[in-house]
Amino acid sequence: MDVKELVAKMTLEEKAGLCSGQDFWHTKAVERLQIPAMMVSDGPHGLRKQDESGDHLGINESIKAVCFPAGCATAASFDRELLYKVGETLGKECQAEGVGVILGPAVNIKRSPLCGRNFEYFSEDPYLASEIAASQIKGVQSKNVGTSIKHFAANNAETLRINMSSDVDERALREIYLAPFEIGVKNAKPWTVMSSYNKVNGVQMAENRELLTDILREEWGFDGVVVSDWGGVKDRIKALEAGNDLDMPENRRNNQSIIDAVRDGILSESVLDQSVERILELVFKAKEQERFTDEVDFENHRNLSRKVAE
């Protein structure tokens, strides 16, 4: 599939629509051009997929999946091979459920005991978090399923996380907060990176060109999709220009703002095309995994989970 040729056939409305979700967990399909939808799902510690199209925050039951120990426990193993096996196992369960990208691992640094998601993050040590994350990413992606290393960047608290600014000098940012992302991107090549809710030094992460383009893409060589955390995009035009490709979940108002900005000459259509190309490459790469799907051996997966816990 020649992605550039496909983009050339798309209408402005179709391109804008592809840059946000079809619903809570799927990218948008374009049936006219045989562009399929792709499903993403939570689950750095076990696949969390619900049958309904929306996210019911645990009210509705999820599909059957093995629960693995949380990031804080797996990192305590200091075992790269073990985390690779965990990744492989998660990848197999994603294959069986048609999930193209699993939203993890989460590599934010533990800085305060008040951070409600510390259990999900690997470590307060950037090197340990880097090595464990890279192993898990490689394991998942060995099964032709993508990962989304998150939450980029400096998302180290949950209180007012959508409005807060993480103010940090360059050395601390580079050596502590960016390090797990840098090593993860360079050594394991995750298919996607998730931009975080917070601001960094006063700039909303989804609109932060310095971090999303200058550092992530140009300096580190990331060539995949940047996806927002759910509802994390405030200004869709600034976000596209900064390098945030996919706005999740569905957001018709933001889609319309893209259409209007291109028509009014505020946003270059070439910027939109670049994001559409990246999203299409991701979708078709994920589609390939359907050729490798096998039946899940839940008993073996449970045994591995027990071994990891031990």
Catalytic residue (one of 42, 229, 245, 247): 229
- Looking at the DSSP assignment, which residues form a beta bridge with residue 225? 192
User: Is 247 considered catalytic here?
Assistant: no
CB 131 within 8 A of CB 116: no
CB 192 within 8 A of CB 224: yes
Query: Sign of the C-alpha dihedral, residues 15, 19, 23, 28?
Result: positive
Distance (Å, rounded) from C-alpha 276 to C-alpha 6? 10
CA angle 26, 18, 194 (to 5 degrees): 60
CB 224 within 8 A of CB 190: yes
CB 209 within 8 A of CB 237: no
- Provide the annotated active-site residues: 229
